[in-house]
Chains A and B, each alone.
Chain A
Amino acid sequence: MGNRVAVIGAGITKFVRRAQETPPELAWAAASQALDNAGMTLDDIDCVIHGTAPDAFDGVHMKAEYLSAGSGGWGKPYTRTYVGGGTGVFAPIHSWMHLASGKFKTALVVCEEKMSSCQPHPQGAFITIFDHTTERALGPNLLWIFALEQHRYMSVHGIKNEQIALASVKNKHNARGHPSAQIGGELTVEEVLDSEILAYPVHRLMVSPTSDGAAAVVMAVEDVAKAQTGQPVWLEGVGWALDTAYWTNRDLYYPRYVEKAAWMAYEMAGIKKPTEEIDFAEPYDPFAYKELHHLEGLQLAPKGGAPKLLADGYFNRDGKLPSCPSGGLLGVGNPIAAAGMMKICELFWQLRGEAGERQIQKPLRRGVAQAWGDLMQVGTVVVMGT
């Protein structure tokens, strides 16, 4: 199916609450590091892909046009793609189209988000994700939909909040080994549950922070990839799906859009039994329950079964199927699109054995990254392997 496509370099900034850098400066930092890592210069790049979520964060209309200078877009084919929070994992899929189609041989893929510019608080931007005519008048915030979804997930399966809190504990622990991390640390389930309730059942320590940051990869078709590095990491399968915008007409207990996207990617990768054929996962974890919800959508846990596996240590870095070995959004931080791209970077580093103290000790052949977004409706999935 199309040309084989690999990731051959990765770069990342620190994730911080407020960056001094402008958005183009952040984009350049990650992109130039990815190029260096791939042993390439901008002249070697055929096309540039930018992934970034709402314009309301960075505070520039058509913000990817503004970001193109820092992303390497000068004089090159340049497009910006977005699928809300799913963007960071979608950007390499968008890049895959450029390369697998045979149209281009190399691509620089940059994701950036600077949320701190948005005042009085980046959360304010989220009121405008709701339907302007039938929902916004209620004064909704982003926490509502997460809380509504988490509560539905818990009530359908009879899941307890302490089971969910454990995802925060695990990811903040994992993030301690990540040099970009904003809020890694050692926590207990009790501390998570003792943190302030923002929107029942969501506690403060179950929520990823707002962040500024950027992450980037260089991708190439097979002949270039092999010429450039002895360790290309291949995109074996990609999948993406978008559910209806009428989110109050869906049952939120299960992310069927993630399942759809996952099977699209698995079929492309020739995966029939995901739990046996995938060594580790980077599911999207902006909120603690989302990691569990998404592991189920990814077919890596039975419906409603992820909390028990988590409690059993199955998803720990030394478990059967490590999940969020990076530390995830809960630990490393959540500059929306850049956070998804951070997961792609983590697959790249883990599969090359370059993850340092985060390195999973068992042999790794294949990992999956996933992101999610919009009104709980986007699934984006990338399977990468050595």
Chain B
Amino acid sequence: MRVASNRNYTAWEGKIPVGWRYTAGLAGQEFLQALKDRGEILGSRCERCEKVYVPASIFCERCFAELNKHEPVKSEGEVVTFAICHRDLEGNPLDPPRVAAAVRLDGATSVLVHNGLGDPAKWKIGARAKVKLAANRTGSILDIEGFELV
């Protein structure tokens, strides 16, 4: 079977036309409620593994223990890593760039990933940063505006 020239190449266009509505889950519901109502960041401690998961979780992913003690961790912690994003999701340049940051809040063993606020050039691994809450809170991870360097 011959394709005589590249003019005969064809493609058929289409998409996957569905959307989704996700629940926050059992632990996520509690986490978002505490964030919305009290501006607290809930973590879940696994005594056996000495881990504190943030956001809260109903189970320990290491040992599978059920976690039912969700308690606030501190709103301040250490910058574990970050990246300075020069492009948006469409691939368009971002000016100024946005910082994505992973901060281990004091009392937690996992990190929380969010916007790194302020001058991107000031962000350093090991720096201290704290949660800045959003003015209007609705029960979403965006109830946090991001992290500010301390």
Direct contact of A and B (CB under 8 A): yes
CB distance from A351 to the nearest CB of B (A): 26
- Complex: how many Å from CA A385 to CA B106? 53
**Which A-chain residue is minimally distant from B25 (CB atoms)?**
A22
Query: Contacts A22-B28, A25-B59 given: A42-B64 contact, CB under 8 Å?
Result: yes
- Complex: how many Å from CA A281 to CA B23? 36
The answer on a CB contact under 8 Å between A32 and B64 is: yes
Q: Indicate the size class of the contact surface on chain A.
A: 20 to 34
CB distance from B58 to the nearest CB of A (A): 6
Chain B positions 23-42 with a Cβ under 8 Å from a chain A Cβ: 23-29
CB distance from A8 to the nearest CB of B (A): 17
The answer on a CB contact under 8 Å between B12 and A25 is: no
The answer on a CB contact under 8 Å between A119 and B20 is: yes
CB distance from B109 to the nearest CB of A (A): 14
- Complex: how many Å from CA A125 to CA B16? 8
Q: Which residues of B contact A83 (CB under 8 A)?
A: none
Number of interface residues of B (CB under 8 A): 23
The answer on a CB contact under 8 Å between A41 and B64 is: yes
The answer on a CB contact under 8 Å between B25 and A21 is: yes
> Is B9 an interface position by the 8 A CB rule?
no
- Complex: how many Å from CA A74 to CA B18? 30
> Is B91 an interface position by the 8 A CB rule?
no
- Checking A41, A74, A117, A120 against B61 with a beta-carbon cut-off of 8 angstroms, the contacting residue is A74
- Complex: how many Å from CA A136 to CA B27? 39
CB distance from B43 to the nearest CB of A (A): 16
Partner-binding segment picked from A126-134, A185-193, A333-341, A362-370: A126-134
Q: Which residues of A contact B17 (CB under 8 A)?
A: 124, 127-128
The answer on a CB contact under 8 Å between B61 and A32 is: no
CB distance from A46 to the nearest CB of B (A): 15
> Is B66 an interface position by the 8 A CB rule?
yes
- Complex: how many Å from CA A133 to CA B12? 6
- Complex: how many Å from CA A176 to CA B140? 39
> Is B2 an interface position by the 8 A CB rule?
no
Query: Contacts A20-B23, A22-B23, A117-B21 given: A128-B16 contact, CB under 8 Å?
Result: yes
Q: Which residues of B contact A20 (CB under 8 A)?
A: 23, 25-26, 29
> Is A59 an interface position by the 8 A CB rule?
yes
**Which A-chain residue is minimally distant from B29 (CB atoms)?**
A20
Q: Which residues of B contact A18 (CB under 8 A)?
A: 23
Query: Contacts A125-B18, A133-B12 given: A43-B23 contact, CB under 8 Å?
Result: no
Query: Contacts A22-B22, A119-B19 given: A132-B14 contact, CB under 8 Å?
Result: yes
> Is A118 an interface position by the 8 A CB rule?
yes
**Which A-chain residue is minimally distant from B48 (CB atoms)?**
A41
The answer on a CB contact under 8 Å between B22 and A59 is: yes
- Complex: how many Å from CA A292 to CA B45? 50
The answer on a CB contact under 8 Å between B64 and A25 is: no
- Complex: how many Å from CA A221 to CA B129? 50
> Is B150 an interface position by the 8 A CB rule?
no
Q: Which residues of A contact B63 (CB under 8 A)?
A: 41-43
The answer on a CB contact under 8 Å between B64 and A132 is: no
Q: Which residues of B contact A22 (CB under 8 A)?
A: 22-26, 28
Q: Which residues of B contact A32 (CB under 8 A)?
A: 59, 64, 66
- Complex: how many Å from CA A2 to CA B142? 53
Query: Contacts A59-B20, A119-B19, A132-B14 given: A74-B26 contact, CB under 8 Å?
Result: no
The answer on a CB contact under 8 Å between B62 and A74 is: yes
Q: Which residues of B contact A128 (CB under 8 A)?
A: 16-18
- Complex: how many Å from CA A114 to CA B23? 11
- Checking A59, A72, A118 against B64 with a beta-carbon cut-off of 8 angstroms, the contacting residue is A72
CB distance from B140 to the nearest CB of A (A): 15
Q: Which residues of B contact A72 (CB under 8 A)?
A: 64
CB distance from A111 to the nearest CB of B (A): 17
Chain A positions 53-103 with a Cβ under 8 Å from a chain B Cβ: 56, 59, 69-70, 72, 74-75
The answer on a CB contact under 8 Å between B23 and A19 is: yes
> Is A35 an interface position by the 8 A CB rule?
yes
Chain A 1-27 interface mask (CB, 8 Å, partner B; 1/0) = 000000000000000001111101100
CB distance from B20 to the nearest CB of A (A): 3
> Is A31 an interface position by the 8 A CB rule?
yes
The answer on a CB contact under 8 Å between A35 and B16 is: no
The answer on a CB contact under 8 Å between B21 and A119 is: yes
- Complex: how many Å from CA A32 to CA B59? 9
**Which A-chain residue is minimally distant from B63 (CB atoms)?**
A42
**Which B-chain residue is minimally distant from A19 (CB atoms)?**
B23
| A/B interface sample: 5 pairs, CB < 8 A | A20-B23, A20-B29, A42-B63, A59-B18, A70-B59
List the interface of chain B (C-beta within 8 A of A). Answer: 12, 14, 16-29, 58-59, 61-64, 66
Closest 7 CB pairs of A and B: A59-B20, A22-B25, A133-B12, A69-B61, A28-B59, A124-B18, A42-B64
List the interface of chain A (C-beta within 8 A of B). Answer: 18-22, 24-25, 28, 31-32, 35, 41-43, 56, 59, 69-70, 72, 74-75, 117-120, 124-125, 127-128, 132-133, 136
